[in-house]
A and B are shown apart, each in its own frame.
Chain A
Amino acid sequence: MDFQLSEDQEALRAGIRSFCDGRMPVDSLRERDKTGFERALWGELAEMGVFSLRQPEDQGGIGLGSADAVIVFAELGRRLVPGPLLWTHLATGLVEGAGSGEAVVGGVEVPRRASDPILVEHFDQLDALLVVREDGIDLVAPGTLSARPVATPLDPFTPLHHVAALPEGDRIGDAAAAARLRLEGAALAAGQLLGIAEMSQELATEYAKKREQFGRPIGGFQAIKHILADCYTRQEIARAAVYAGGATLDDPGVGDVARAVTTAKLVAGEAAMKNARACIQVHGGMGYTWEIPAHYYLKRTWVLENVFGDVAEHAERMAEIVAAA
């Protein structure tokens, strides 16, 4: 057992991080929140292998596993990289051109609660749409949908369309494939949430060291220090859970896959939500403004919290698993 990043994984992480730092520094979020999706960026992400990471090499992919993928998605989460990253990654192998970045693929889960609106993210950019149902995966041409743009999406980087009804589409995966996709999607979303939890903590810590009140940095007050210590702790617990989720997807011999992924999504979701809120709180009055990037992290957390099962749903799933064990 060696539950640490391998040298290759360290290099993978460093590569994506330096790309994101160069291409999408945190202080550019404010300028970029009007432009949102960039096609050029999509090509670069594809070139780095973000979408084809887990495709076998003989199919044009990089041939890595889910453990590697969650590391990459944590980096994408740190920088709030926009676009239907998760869905295009999951569509690789199912939809022609997804892995190479030529096709931008979105997706939607059929809502479990009849009262939930059907909201499609990044609809205007999509070349294909996956519809994930209980009994299988359907491929839908976005042009066949009647979709109305949402004027006020919560996350400025995640534009939404409201869709009245989902057409049948072409069945491209069975119930088992749908179940597998949901598991992988939850693990990767958990990766992004881990990145958000990390970055929120780092932004807050950095600010607490600089911002002075009562003649000293606010990071010197226990009231602030202890908030940040909790943020760090949550982030590290989430890291272990997310890495374990990825590693278990790769090798079901090390544990119960559903249990490991549920743990990852729940714990990372909670860490992101609490850390993003803490980041706003530690920034004080500035945290409540649009100028400081903290709000983007909280808003993206809500987007990721509501895909592939929220905290409540995963908590119930975990209870069933424990009761059956």
Chain B
Amino acid sequence: MDLRYSDSDEAFRKELRAWLADAVPAHGPAPSERADWEARCAYDTSWQRKLHDAGYAGINWPKQYGGRDASLTEQLVYYEETARAHAPYVGVNFVGLLHGGPTIVAEGTPEQKERHIGPILRGEQIWCQGFSEPSAGSDLASLKTRAVREGDHYVVSGHKIWTSFAQVADYCELLVRTNPEEKHRGITWLAMPMDLDGIEIRPLPTLLGSGEFSEVFLENVRVPVEYRVGKENDGWRVTNVTLSFERGTAFASDMVQLQESLRMLTALAKRITRDDASAWDDRALRREVGHAAAEADALWAMVKYTVSEAERTGVPGMAGSCVKLYYSELKQRIGELSMRVLGRAALVREDVAGLPSQEIVHQALQSLSLTIAAGSSQIQRNIISERILGLPKEPR
């Protein structure tokens, strides 16, 4: 058991830290208007380009396609340092970098890797996710969007929902039904170009009021067969590759941010006065903050533990579900605690009376998605109890 990073990891840390110290301030703050898609896209993708050009894109992706081919441990160092430097978030590159891209790295043909991986890493290709449907959320495998093979094309019709970044995406990782007789074994994974005819996007405002969510209506969209990843009807397995990536590492950078949220909360509590004392003088509050901080540290230790496990075995372990479950609930608790410290200032979604309401309220509201997206907390508990503890399975 050795928690010490290797000399080469530390050398990487030093080099990255030095680069970030210049690059982050130079890139400036994120566009303040969250609905300004053009500005957001430009901000996120140009940052990705800078990462790429400096050699920091796709830390554990193959070198051949522009990645760094580094260890998972170096990836952890990357998350620690980018969080420390307040580097821009992946933003619109989320699905490409953390979902679609890793799936293609694992399952794609050489042509598909050529087509997608480099452009994703350079910030030139934005992806969205077309998994969920109005009647296929937690029961994802019941999806109905139909794809019928006609020559060299799949003709796709259906309705996808809760699709982030659809309006700016170049590709959609799309799950379609190719065999209506089978459930899990009748699904196929397509990398659908978003400029094809027959795709209609309707915005679906989130509870934040933000517009990254959409419904996507597909009507006889002709997707060339060469855009299929994996075999026909093997999409469920391909999807689970994606999901294991999602639960394994996609949240790592957010977890580092937990400590940052707690520091922000501590600073805020020292400034807020109640009955002539600061909120930080309230012992009950200090205990809650300290408690959450210990849990955040423990969670980060668990991430290290699972990364070491993955490095030994070569696959992300089942414990990703535990990490996701614990993280999402802890983040919500910190969000609620922060809003309670703000008191009435939390009723305003912009900074008010010199208090950082905008960021705190935004984070607290946004955290509500965490226990729902990427497998709700209830689904994670099913996974843990069935696949790890061996308890009887739910109906499939």
Contact = CB atoms under 8 A, between A and B. Distances in A.
Contacts of B304: 1, 3, 240, 244
B325 interface: yes
A238 B301 CA distance: 9
A154 to B, nearest CB: 24
Interface stretch (B14-22, B185-193, B291-299): B291-299
B388 interface: yes
A263 B2 contact: no
B326 interface: yes
Interface stretch (B93-101, B346-354, B376-384): B376-384
A236 interface: yes
A94 B325 CA distance: 44
Which residue, A251, A267, A322, has most C-beta atoms of chain B within 10 A?
A: A322
B9 interface: yes
A4 B297 CA distance: 17
Interface in B75-131: 76
A237 B390 CA distance: 20
A261 to B, nearest CB: 10
A241 B301 contact: yes
Interface in B287-313: 287-291, 293-295, 297-299, 301-302, 304-305, 307-309, 311-312
B297 A233 contact: no
Contacts of B309: 4
Given A1-B2, A222-B394, A228-B389, A260 B287 contact: no
Interface residues of A, number: 59
Contacts of B6: 1
Interface in A258-308: 259-260, 262-264, 266-267
A3 B308 contact: yes
B283 interface: yes
B2 A2 contact: yes
B1 A322 contact: no
Contact of A222 (B76, B263, B302, B382): B382
Interface stretch (A82-90, A104-112, A177-185, A309-317): A309-317
Contacts of B298: 237-238, 240-241, 244, 263-264, 267
A259 B290 CA distance: 11
A263 B384 contact: no
Nearest to B380: A229
Contacts of B9: 1
Interface string B24-53: 000000000000000000000000000000
B340 interface: no
Nearest to A204: B389
B196 interface: no
B322 interface: yes
Given A205-B391, A241-B301, A244-B3, A225 B290 contact: no
Nearest to B393: A220
Nearest to B305: A240
Contact of A208 (B287, B380, B391): B391
A146 B308 CA distance: 52
A314 B1 contact: no
Contact of B297 (A5, A209, A243, A263): A263
A248 B322 contact: no
A62 B2 CA distance: 19
Interface in A204-255: 205, 208-209, 216-217, 219-220, 222, 224-226, 228-230, 232-233, 236-241, 243-244, 246-248, 251, 253-255
Contact of A228 (B3, B286, B294, B385): B385
A248 B304 CA distance: 14
Contact of B286 (A9, A246, A247, A319): A319
Interface residues of B, number: 54
B302 A248 contact: no
Contacts of B289: 319, 322
B5 interface: yes
Interface string B322-357: 100110000000000000000000000000000000
B382 A243 contact: no
Tell me which of A1, A248, A263, A311 has the highest count of chain B C-beta atoms within 10 A of its own C-beta.
A1
Contact of A4 (B280, B291, B305): B305
A318 interface: yes
Contacts of B138: none
A2 B2 CA distance: 5
Contact of A322 (B3, B266, B311, B325): B266
Contacts of A239: 302, 305
B262 interface: yes
A323 B266 contact: yes
A232 B383 CA distance: 12
A226 B378 contact: yes
Nearest to A325: B263
A322 B293 contact: yes
Interface in A1-38: 1-6, 9
B4 A237 contact: no
B199 interface: no
A81 interface: no
A67 B305 CA distance: 14
B201 interface: no
Contacts of A226: 378, 381-382, 385
Contacts of B294: 241, 262-263, 266-267, 314-315, 318
Contacts of A237: 295, 298-299, 302, 322, 326
Interface of A: 1-6, 9, 67, 205, 208-209, 216-217, 219-220, 222, 224-226, 228-230, 232-233, 236-241, 243-244, 246-248, 251, 253-255, 259-260, 262-264, 266-267, 311-312, 314-323, 325
Interface of B: 1-6, 9, 73, 76, 259, 262-263, 266, 270, 280, 283, 286-291, 293-295, 297-299, 301-302, 304-305, 307-309, 311-312, 319, 322, 325-326, 378, 380-382, 384-386, 388-392, 394
Given A1-B5, A205-B390, A222-B381, 17 more contacts: A1-B304, A225-B385, A233-B322, A237-B295, A240-B301, A243-B301, A254-B3, A260-B297, A263-B294, A263-B298, A267-B295, A315-B286, A315-B290, A316-B286, A319-B293, A321-B293, A323-B266
